[in-house]
Structure 1
Amino acid sequence: MGSSLLLFSQTGSVDNTPIGQKTQVESEINWQTGTLTLFVSSTLQPETVNPASAVTILSQRMANNRIAFVLQAMMEIRVNSSTRIREIAKENPQLLRDIEALAAESTIQPYILSPDLQRVTLPITVNLFPKLSDLLVNHRVPTSLPRVFTTQVPASHTGLVIFAGEPLAVHGEFLRGEQRYSEILPAMFLDLYDEDLTALLKPNQMDPGYLTRWGAAAYTSDFDEDQFRDRIGANPLRVSATALFGINDTDIIIPNRSASVLLSNPENHRILTQGRILIIIPEHRLIESLP
């Protein structure tokens, strides 16, 4: 798949049919757009007599099986620094039923034929926000942000842009006595910390409406902020991440001085509580291959 997407990648199979050989499924997430895309493919049997009719029938059969394909892919979505959807669904049967219902609403795109007209690929898409996120947001009233008192109130900003485009130290983790470094991994929800590991933002501190609408932060790989103006505004605070935190390298540590700017001016609190955050990450991380 193209390098402009952030992807899951997995291979599954269903039983052979009279017109198609074993079905293959590749699942991808574009973290910039928050879109899950599945590419369901099958090759026509060599002895197929009427290829044109077989293609139509085969694509319809793949479409009819899409709930199982989409559900399997959605289980691998990274929710936060420690959890994928499969782990939450294991403890919550109702969530599993709700996700299955959402899988039934997935969008079927026009099928694609290979140049030799022997392989049929059916793209299927699901938006992570707001429908899937709505199933994962459990609070109605956000908890309070940390309080910071200062004699001089810092400037007001409309958003937060965090540069995390290079490998960063992972706080508290060492490999053979050496500090471990990693590139950030995107997630639907993330935590934000200062250098003293004070939690500046956790999902339960966000307005649930905004958390459902677009998650904790947006991801991109370039410095063109114009497409995110509705989220970060015209005057965002720009900072560089100093380290990563969390089991899955999803959470970010920023300088204490930047944290103070966000917390000590009440007008800047909405940046955190409304998720008006843009994270710049390596381009190849916008497409992620999942188990």
Structure 2
Amino acid sequence: MALRLVLPILLSVFLLTPSAYAFQGYVQHVGEGGAIAWGSGELSVVQSVEKKDDEVTPYTPLAIRKAVSKARRLLLDMVLSTRINAKRTVSSALANDRLLASQVRGLVHNSLFRGPSHLDTEGSVQVSERFRGKLAELIFPTTIQFQSGIPPKLSTYMEQSETELEAVGSAITGYSGLVIDARGMRLTPALAPNVYGQDGLGVYGAFLVSRANAVNKGVVAYANTSDLTVLRERVGNNPLRVKAVSAYGSWRTDVVIESSMASLVRAVLKAGNIVENCAVVILVDDSVPSEIIETEIQ
């Protein structure tokens, strides 16, 4: 195998080990060989390397390059198809910005890959990226008003007095995170969803989180288990647990909780470091809807 292929493969063995991102959260399978880990934000695609029976070596450099190219095309489709929030996908957010679109393509084109070793009888390659860091910086629209402090309002919102909104008080401490159980709601994971109270007023979302924390940690994480030993890395040892009452929006990306619990959550978020740590997990079903956008960004 050519040296230019061997070195990246050896490096990727260390960079893409399963323990690299401990909290994977809910893993959504997309297309043929694609997966999104909604805890770590890792996207990965595994593709088989084609080989001929009469070949002396199990797989040639050309076959590996073809498999990597195919995997990266699916990886790009996965990135574009992901919903940022209830209003847009990554694809729609990049539609009118050719420079950003080109940068996203370039990032995916140069994504890390792990190739088959001489001991690998299956002959597969894996490419990966993350909805963190550089990729997140590129795809989060500048129109999102991170940390504005102004909660979004649903059409059902009814004006309430400050006394009603602060009825629980603001001195609640001791909670290390927030777990919202939205199982059974057929929720669609998104990069920057909103949590609303039944009163129609936003409780948690990008309006509370800094852009830097959203980029580096993710606004929320998704999981399909309530086991604290799994969730602890994200929400700590003593998270507040809240049951969702419905999902909102045509894509069911946003979560609605009871008004009384919404008041409690607002008070808890003000009292601790939950917002700064983005220590929020939304529980989803084992299988959620997925869609791949096949239109290439220009």
TM range (shorter): 0.7 to 0.9
Given the alignment, which residue of 46, 57, 60 partners 1:39? 46
Residue 129 (structure 1) aligned with residue 132 (structure 2): yes
Given the alignment, which residue of 18, 24, 28 partners 1:6? 28
The ranges of structure 1 where at least 4 consecutive aligned residues each deviate by more than 6 angstroms after the TM superposition are none
User: What residue number does 1:216 align with?
Assistant: 219
Q: Which moved more, 1:27-36 or 1:238-247?
A: 27-36
User: What residue number does 1:74 align with?
Assistant: 79
Cα distance, 1:198–1:267 mapped onto 2, change above 3 Å: closer
Segments of structure 2 that go 5 or more residues without pairing to the other structure are 1-25, 152-161, 294-298
Partners of 1:134 and 1:202 lie apart in 2 by 17
Given the alignment, which residue of 156, 167, 170 partners 1:150? 167
Measured after TM superposition, the shift of residue 96 of structure 1 is: 0.7
Cα distance, 1:208–1:57 mapped onto 2, change above 3 Å: same
Cα distance, 1:42–1:246 mapped onto 2, change above 3 Å: same
Given the alignment, which residue of 205, 212, 225 partners 2:228? 225
Partners of 1:223 and 1:265 lie apart in 2 by 20
Partners of 2:146 and 2:42 lie apart in 1 by 27
Does the residue aligned with 1:210 lie in a helix, a strand or coil? helix
Does the Cα contact within 8 Å between 2:147 and 2:211 map onto a contact in 1? Answer: yes
Does the residue aligned with 1:37 lie in a helix, a strand or coil? strand
Partners of 1:96 and 1:151 lie apart in 2 by 45
Cα distance, 1:220–1:72 mapped onto 2, change above 3 Å: closer
Does the residue aligned with 1:75 lie in a helix, a strand or coil? helix
User: What residue number does 1:85 align with?
Assistant: 90
Partners of 2:239 and 2:73 lie apart in 1 by 42
Cα distance, 1:246–1:269 mapped onto 2, change above 3 Å: farther
Residue 49 (structure 1) aligned with residue 54 (structure 2): yes
Does the Cα contact within 8 Å between 1:89 and 1:95 map onto a contact in 2? Answer: yes
Measured after TM superposition, the shift of residue 151 of structure 1 is: 7.3
**Letter in structure 1 aligned against 2:48:** S
> TM-score, normalised to structure 1's length?
0.74
Segments of structure 1 that go 5 or more residues without pairing to the other structure are 11-25, 169-182
Given the alignment, which residue of 262, 265, 269 partners 2:265? 262
RMSD: 3.0
Measured after TM superposition, the shift of residue 195 of structure 1 is: 0.2
Measured after TM superposition, the shift of residue 85 of structure 1 is: 1.3
**Letter in structure 1 aligned against 2:177:** G
Does the residue aligned with 1:94 lie in a helix, a strand or coil? helix
Measured after TM superposition, the shift of residue 265 of structure 1 is: 5.3
Given the alignment, which residue of 150, 175, 178 partners 1:160? 178
Does the Cα contact within 8 Å between 2:168 and 2:263 map onto a contact in 1? Answer: no
Measured after TM superposition, the shift of residue 236 of structure 1 is: 1.6
- Which structure has the highest strand share of the two? 1
> TM-score, normalised to structure 2's length?
0.72
Q: How many residues align?
A: 252
Cα distance, 1:91–1:289 mapped onto 2, change above 3 Å: closer
Measured after TM superposition, the shift of residue 6 of structure 1 is: 1.0
Does the residue aligned with 1:43 lie in a helix, a strand or coil? coil
Measured after TM superposition, the shift of residue 158 of structure 1 is: 2.1
Residue 249 (structure 1) aligned with residue 252 (structure 2): yes
User: What residue number does 1:96 align with?
Assistant: 101
User: What residue number does 1:199 align with?
Assistant: 202
Partners of 2:219 and 2:69 lie apart in 1 by 34
**Letter in structure 2 aligned against 1:86:** S
Partners of 2:269 and 2:283 lie apart in 1 by 25
Does the Cα contact within 8 Å between 1:145 and 1:201 map onto a contact in 2? Answer: no
Partners of 1:38 and 1:244 lie apart in 2 by 29
Partners of 2:198 and 2:77 lie apart in 1 by 38
Partners of 1:51 and 1:32 lie apart in 2 by 42
Partners of 2:134 and 2:228 lie apart in 1 by 25
**Letter in structure 2 aligned against 1:155:** I
Partners of 1:265 and 1:278 lie apart in 2 by 15
**Letter in structure 2 aligned against 1:161:** V
